[in-house]
């Protein structure tokens, strides 16, 4: 049996690829998931090799259930495969990422103490985050003496206040959550905590003027783990080590960072020749990406899973699902975007190629994580804006809403810690729905509701949507009818209903 990946293991197998074993910790990253590791950490790792950034990243698990022990057991090393199509050719690139220094669980007292020490370090330049769409949320119950505060923004407020009290320079914060103005929203939440906790005007000034909270747009499809046991066995044999953190992403990757022009000189990416661009406003790029690429995912994956599919690529080979996706994008999403239509259509055309990547088994259940917040951020704005512009409801987007409700409410078996277990009819398997606890509790409490009451209570839930959607003319009736089609005829038939 091969040894676990580590610096010692690589030395024993005479590994000759690039590694950065030691360097100052220059970045503190909240989030250690597959995406950040295949995207942000990849870019910084390349910057070490190509631009002599000479930095390490300290990883922080955003929840108490993170895998800090697994990371540290491997010296925070992991193998990244980037696979896809490039200039018409299939490519697959392997790289061992060595930019991470250590991984900490803030809910372990010793780790929280170490995280605060890193926050006041002279070497620290950046803080990075991806805590999902639900992460940047203000929680008034958090207190500065909590060890640690429960919410992500509250943790950031405490860490930056420690840095301020230590008279250290401000840092650049790179927010990667898929919400509009992610950097600004995080900064606003931090300032709200500062006011609530009476941290004073000088600290508020430090946040506003010494620290730079950058809104960013990230774009790389990252399915993460290799799930086929035979492929894992083959890669382990080829590599000569066992890697519990192996990561897979598409070869395409672009990062837009909103900030002043001089930030481009500070960041190490341009010097390294990487596809990272500093722009004065990420909003146009973000709206195009979130509404088209991410909105496509969220619009069809829940229905596709109920129809018996498991990976994105197979959905692109199904006529009904592929046609549904294209109708949603070209007929309902692109017409309401305040962007160049030709540019949007070229971007939408690339979606099929990226979703059809022969190397990536992008699991639908992986995409389904936190679908409530995703639907609110990615698809609901398109539905409402289309209705306002054209005076009618968009057929595919409404069916996508019904797919969301069906996924969360069909065949519920039990509520367990961290998830809601359901049975997938026709496939004979159970699946776990992952979302905020209050969302899971809502659907579990409604497990015996008839569809009319369920749809009414979902649409009127202002905590979910920040508004009462039963007030949208005809929406409740349409979603109820669509849900009935899914229940009666199945998800595959529901996809076809949208273009019959």
Task: Report the CATH number that the domain containing residue 257 is assigned in CATH.
Answer: 3.40.50.720
User: Based on the domain organization, do 65 and 123 belong to the same domain?
Assistant: yes
**pLDDT for position 227:** 75
For helices 319-326 and 295-306, the axis angle rounded to 10 degrees is 150
**pLDDT for position 418:** 83
Beta bridge partners of 250: 83
Mean pLDDT of 12-30: 97
138 touches 151 (CB < 8 A)? yes
User: Based on the domain organization, do 239 and 372 belong to the same domain?
Assistant: no
Domain-terminating residue out of 237, 264, 279: 279
**Is the pLDDT assigned to residue 311 strictly greater than 90?**
yes
User: Based on the domain organization, do 27 and 113 belong to the same domain?
Assistant: yes
Mean pLDDT of 426-435: 92
User: Based on the domain organization, do 410 and 331 belong to the same domain?
Assistant: yes
User: Based on the domain organization, do 258 and 327 belong to the same domain?
Assistant: no
Which candidate, 243, 202, 237, 200, places its Cα nearest to that of 75?
Answer: 243
* Domain extent at residue 25: 7-279
348-401: pLDDT as tens digits: 988 888 898 888 788 999 999 999 999 999 999 999 999 999 999 999 999 999
Q: What are the DSSP calls for 160-211, one per residue?
A: HHHHHHTTPPP-EEEE--SSTTHHHHHHHHHHHHHHHTT--HHHHHIIIIIS
pTM: 0.74
User: Based on the domain organization, do 294 and 253 belong to the same domain?
Assistant: no
Domain-terminating residue out of 235, 260, 279: 279
User: Based on the domain organization, do 226 and 259 belong to the same domain?
Assistant: yes
**Is the pLDDT assigned to residue 88 strictly greater than 70?**
no
Q: How many domains in the chain?
A: 2
Q: Domain for residue 102, yes or no? A: yes
User: Based on the domain organization, do 332 and 448 belong to the same domain?
Assistant: yes
Task: Starting at the earlier edge strand, list the strands of the sheet with 78-86.
Answer: 89-97, 78-86, 247-250
Average pLDDT of the chain is 95
What does the block give as tokens for 293? 């690429």
233-283: pLDDT as tens digits: 999 999 999 999 999 999 989 999 999 999 999 999 999 999 999 999 998
Q: Domain for residue 105, yes or no? A: yes
**pLDDT for position 225:** 79
User: Based on the domain organization, do 227 and 335 belong to the same domain?
Assistant: no
């Amino acid at each position: 049996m091969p040894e676990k990946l580590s610096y010692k293991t690589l030395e024993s197998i005479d590994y000759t690829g690039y590694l950065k074993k030691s360097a100052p910790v220059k970045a503190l990253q909240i989030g250690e998931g597959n995406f950040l590791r295949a995207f942000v950490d990849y870019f910084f790792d390349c910057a070490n090799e190509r631009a002599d950034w000479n930095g390490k990243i300290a990883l922080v698990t955003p929840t108490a259930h993170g895998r800090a022990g697994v990371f540290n057991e491997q010296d925070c090393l992991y193998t990244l495969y980037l696979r896809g199509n490039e200039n018409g050719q299939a490519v697959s690139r392997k790289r061992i990422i060595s930019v991470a220094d250590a991984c900490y669980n803030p809910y372990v007292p010793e780790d929280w103490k170490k995280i605060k020490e890193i926050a006041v370090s002279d070497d620290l330049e950046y803080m990075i985050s991806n805590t999902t769409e639900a992460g940047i949320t203000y929680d008034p119950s958090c207190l500065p003496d909590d060890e640690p505060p429960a919410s992500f923004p509250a943790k950031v407020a405490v860490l930056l206040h420690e840095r301020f009290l230590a008279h250290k320079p401000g840092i650049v914060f790179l927010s990667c959550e898929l919400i509009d103005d992610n950097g600004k929203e995080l900064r606003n939440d931090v300032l709200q905590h500062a006011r609530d906790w009476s941290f004073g005007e000088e600290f508020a000034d430090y946040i506003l003027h010494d620290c730079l909270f950058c809104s960013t747009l990230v774009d790389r499809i990252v399915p993460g783990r290799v799930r086929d046991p035979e492929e894992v066995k083959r890669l382990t044999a080829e590599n000569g080590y066992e890697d519990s953190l192996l990561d897979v992403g598409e070869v395409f990757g672009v990062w837009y960072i909103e900030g002043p022009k001089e930030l481009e000189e500070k960041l190490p990416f341009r010097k390294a020749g990487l596809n990272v661009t500093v722009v004065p406003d990420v909003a146009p790029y973000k709206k195009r990406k979130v509404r088209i690429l991410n909105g496509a995912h969220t619009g069809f994956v829940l229905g596709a899973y109920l129809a018996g599919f498991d990976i994105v690529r197979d959905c692109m080979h199904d006529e009904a699902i592929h046609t549904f996706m294209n109708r949603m994008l070209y007929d309902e999403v692109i017409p309401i975007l305040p962007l160049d239509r030709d540019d949007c259509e070229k971007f939408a055309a690339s979606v099929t190629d990226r979703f059809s990547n022969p190397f990536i088994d992008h699991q639908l259940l992986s995409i389904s994580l936190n679908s409530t917040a995703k639907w609110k951020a990615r698809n609901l704005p398109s539905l409402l804006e289309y209705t306002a512009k054209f005076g009618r409801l968009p057929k595919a987007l409404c069916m996508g809403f019904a797919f969301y409700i069906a996924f969360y409410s069909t065949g519920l078996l039990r509520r367990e810690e961290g998830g809601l277990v359901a049975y997938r009819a026709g496939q004979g398997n159970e699946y776990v729905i992952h979302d905020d606890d209050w969302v899971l509790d809502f659907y579990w409490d409604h497990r015996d509701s008839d569809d009319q009451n369920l749809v009414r209570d979902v649409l009127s839930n202002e905590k979910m949507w920040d508004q009462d959607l039963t007030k949208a003319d005809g929406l409740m009736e349409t979603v109820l009818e669509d849900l009935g089609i899914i229940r009666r005829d199945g998800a595959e038939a529901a996809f076809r209903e949208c273009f019959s």
